[in-house]
Amino acid sequence: MTRVLFVCMGNICRSPMAEGILRKKLRERGLLEQFEVDSCGTGGWHEGEPADPRAQRVLAQYGADFPHVARQIQAHDLEYFQHIFVMDRENLAVLEQRFPQHRGKARLLLELNGGGEVPDPYYQGLEAFEAVYRLLDEALEVFLQNHAPR
């Protein structure tokens, strides 16, 4: 079982979008049973809430929607998940500060395909969520090319 965790700030935009995209790709490849996929946030402001309506709309448009409930990262997540992908440097720094014993385990998602950060679309419109979807989709395709069983 390959365990993958996505992390952003509030767990209502970027990380649930990444989770939905990976779940969709795994479902299409018949690999869903071989992976455990989850997402969380470094902050707990949105704990218990669904994904942002704009994120839900974009995920639904691509057939990648799923029932999501926001949660905050816990220490055991860093022990349990094999692949921990963070959306930006700020949240990566928060993880490393809060859980110094796991420094180096999490990495930026976009390192998979050239580097950079996934911009936070929260204060922008639907088009920003669509742009984030495309960024995540490309990076997760690279992840699966390198980590999916053949």
**Which residues are marked as active site?**
8, 14, 120
Q: How far apart are CA 137 and CA 144, in angstroms?
A: 11
Q: How far apart are CA 37 and CA 88, in angstroms?
A: 19
- How far CA 78 is from CA of 52, 100, 117, 149, in Å, comes to 25, 11, 20, 23
Sequence-distant (6+) residues with CB within 8 A of 86 are: 6, 7, 8, 92, 95, 106, 107, 108, 109
